[in-house]
Amino acid sequence: MLQFEHVALLAGRIALVTGAARGIGFATAKLFAQHGASVVLVDRHAERLNSAYQNLRDMVPSERLMAQLCDVSEENSVRDAFQAIFGKFKRLDVLVANAGVLDNALIGMVSSSQIKCIFETNTFGVIYCAQYASRLMARNRSGSIINISSILGTNGGAGQTVYSASKSAVIGITKSLAKELSSNNIRVNAIAPGFIKTDMTMSMNSEKFNERMVSIKMGRIGHADEVANVALFLASDLSSYVTGQTIGVDGGMLI
């Protein structure tokens, strides 16, 4: 798999990744660390977060790593996390708002608690993190915010109305923030992954899994590293004139 291993694209930068304990979040945190960034791993699951931190601790000096327990759906938790980050690093250069939840249900069966949970994490969490991140980035008039949406946010999906809506909102947030924050040289973009090999997708029943695979023109499932590579591009100076965009990483998937 393609990796940019010979040039440290993020040397000296401070990057925060939410939902960093596993999947796309962990792959992104690891790749950023490999490219010289100091990385703040944020997750709401303490045991998973500690495991991810220890995994990276074997390859990155402790002064370049920070593990912060945080539930992005709770504004006070996000505020406390950013205060801790400022206390250690005094600034922030990159935010990857990756934390999210998926809870499928046909529209007639969706409960108000499901709607609340999905939007609080997938949508409100992105806004909360952007609020605090943009304040830190504005101090240096520079930064990159990367929001993780989904192919379901661009194309929709049967039985996934609420999740799709929450991820569509992320795209609207991204476009609006790109316009609002550009005067401070803060770029805001989104990534819309398709069918990516994670714990969640591998737990699907075989019928659903095969149905998804048939829809992918490249004929294979995607990998978290392939999403992380796009996040690296957006976090680095390689994308210095890119803002307000949503980049699909879906292998030509049709929904």
Rounded average pLDDT per 10-residue block, the chain, 255 residues: 68 98 97 98 97 94 96 98 97 97 84 95 98 98 98 91 96 98 98 91 80 92 97 98 98 88
28-47 per-position pLDDT tens digit? 999 999 999 999 999 999 99
Domain at 14-248, CATH homologous superfamily? NAD(P)-binding Rossmann-like Domain (3.40.50.720)
Tokens of 134: 């943009």
Spans of all domains in the chain: 14-248
Q: What is the pLDDT of residue 4?
A: 46
Rounded to an integer, what distance in angstroms lies between the CA atom of residue 248 and that of residue 232?
14
Q: How many helices (H) and strands (E) does the chain have?
A: 10, 9
List phi, psi (to 5°) of 250. Answer: -140, 5
Per DSSP bridges, beta strands 14-18 and 38-43 are parallel
Q: What is the pLDDT of residue 106?
A: 82
Q: What is the pLDDT of residue 242?
A: 98
As annotated, the active-site residues are 163
